[in-house]
Each structure stands twice: as structure tokens, then as C-alpha cells.
Amino acid sequence: MSAPILQLRDLRIAYGAIEAVKGIDLELATGELVSLIGANGAGKTTTLNAIAGTLPIAGGELLYNGQRIEKLPAHKRLRQGLALVPEGRGIFTRLTVEENLRMGAYCRRDDDAVEADLERVFTMLPRVKERLQQVAGTLSGGEQQMVAIGRALLSRPKLLLLDEPSMGLAPLVVEKIFEVISSVAAEGVTILLVEQNANLALEFSQRAYVMESGHITLTGSGDALLADPKVRAAYLGEV
């Protein structure tokens, strides 16, 4: 395995007195596509937000490229290549698709490279290119998800955190989104994917972690977890 890009050590995250994440260990090697699955309320979104820096941690260590980043504000983490596509996508509904995409590059000064990256995003997301001047709020859910991913790519992420990209989308659209995620991974971007759709997530991921009530209870390769009877019973709807 190459050097870890992300390490969580005994990480704890609390909302006031309530501990939502109760000491988890998680590691991502550079270039991996890893998913974090688990039931509603397990603490997956909380974990992603703490990694991105939009939530403070209550204990433990958070390392990015070997450096402690717990005290680094979210915008500085973004500048170092750590980007989050939040649950619900977080796109600016009144702005056009192009304006949304360019927002992803707001902290960059390398204008020429931004234009080149825009072209790369268009190649990966041709549907987005067709709709550049459309107001983002009028896009379909799948198109909005693609814009949210495209916007994150414009920040030149090294580690992309994706929170429930399939949420609320029809199965065919979900397949498309997963194809996009695979092509982003193929470009060398490390991805941590939070998903309710455990089947697809495990199929597409090299490794995965299962989270239950604030703890990591299982980890392994996507294939091993897909075959695990406990995972099949709890998350793949089998009895």
C-alpha cells in the first residue's frame, strides 16, 4: 500500500454532550476508492464533515498526508486538496451551471490551469457541458449531482469526500454517477465515499468500512464485505 493520504486515529466527534462518533480508526492510501457504509444515524456524515473541517473533533487525531490537521480551518484543507461534496449536493440553485463550476476554483490563482481543468471536467461530464448556461436549480437531481462533483474537481482535489451521491436518484442515474466516480478515481483522485446504497458502493470500492452507532464494526475489501453474511443481512436486504 502507498503512503496513507488520510488517517483517523481514535477519532471522536460530539454534538454537545452527545457523542456521535465514538473513537474510530480509518486509513486511506493514496489513489484508493474506499467507502463508508452503515445505517441512518451511524455517524457517516458526521465523520466526513469532521474530515473536511466543517465540524470540530472532540478527541483523537486526524492526519492528512502525515500532518495533523485538526486545527486547520475548512478553507485551508480545501486549498491543500481536501474537497467535500456534501449530502444534498450544496449547489447554488440560482447560479448557472458554469458559475457553480467556477465557484469550485475560487481559491485558485492559476487561471490558465482552471480553464484546462474545466475542459477536463467537460470531457468527464458531457451532460454538464451541454447545460452550462442553465440555472442550476432547474437541473434534474442527477445533473445537480454531476455539477456538485464537477465543482469539487475544479478545486483540484487530491482527496474527494463524497456524501451520499446516489441519494434520491433513479437507479439508471445512480449507475451514471458511479461511472463518473470511477472515472474520477481512475484519474488518480483518492475517494472516500459515504453511501446508503451498500451494494453499489461495495461493488465499486477497493475497500470499505462499516459503521454502526458511532463505531467501525467491520472493514475489508469490497468483495469480502459483499460476501459477508452479516453485511448481506444488515445492508443488502437479505435475511
Contact residue for ligand ATP among 28, 38, 97, 149 (CB under 6 A): 38
- Residue 89 found at the interface with ligand ATP (CB under 6 A): no
- Residue 43 found at the interface with ligand ATP (CB under 6 A): yes
Residue 160: CB minimum distance to ligand ATP, A: 17
Contact residue for ligand ATP among 6, 11, 44, 118 (CB under 6 A): 44
Report how far residue 183's alpha carbon sits from residue 72's, in angstroms, rounded to the nearest whole number.
Answer: 30
* Binding string, residues 170-209; x marks residues near ligand ATP by CB under 6 A: --------------------------x-------------
Tell me, by CB under 6 A, how many residues bind ligand ATP.
Answer: 12
- Residue 15 found at the interface with ligand ATP (CB under 6 A): yes
- Residue 161 found at the interface with ligand ATP (CB under 6 A): no
Cα angle, residue 13 at apex, residues 23 and 151 outer, rounded to 5°: 115
Q: In a 3-state reduction of DSSP, which class is residue 167?
A: coil
Q: For cell 482535489, what's the residue?
A: 157
- Residue 147 found at the interface with ligand ATP (CB under 6 A): no
Q: Any idea of the CA torsion for 48, 31, 195, 236, to the nearest 10 degrees?
A: -140
190-195 and 33-38 beta bridge pairing: parallel
- Residue 54 found at the interface with ligand ATP (CB under 6 A): no
Beta strands in the chain (DSSP E): 4-15, 18-29, 33-38, 59-64, 67-68, 82-85, 159-163, 190-195, 207-212, 215-221
- On whether the CB atoms of residues 152 and 85 are closer than 8 A, the answer is yes
Residue 111: CB minimum distance to ligand ATP, A: 37
- Residue 40 found at the interface with ligand ATP (CB under 6 A): yes
Residue 215: CB minimum distance to ligand ATP, A: 12
- Dihedral sign, CA of 155, 159, 163, 168? positive
- Residue 82 found at the interface with ligand ATP (CB under 6 A): no
Q: Which residues bind ligand ATP (CB under 6 A)?
A: 15, 18, 20, 38, 40-46, 196
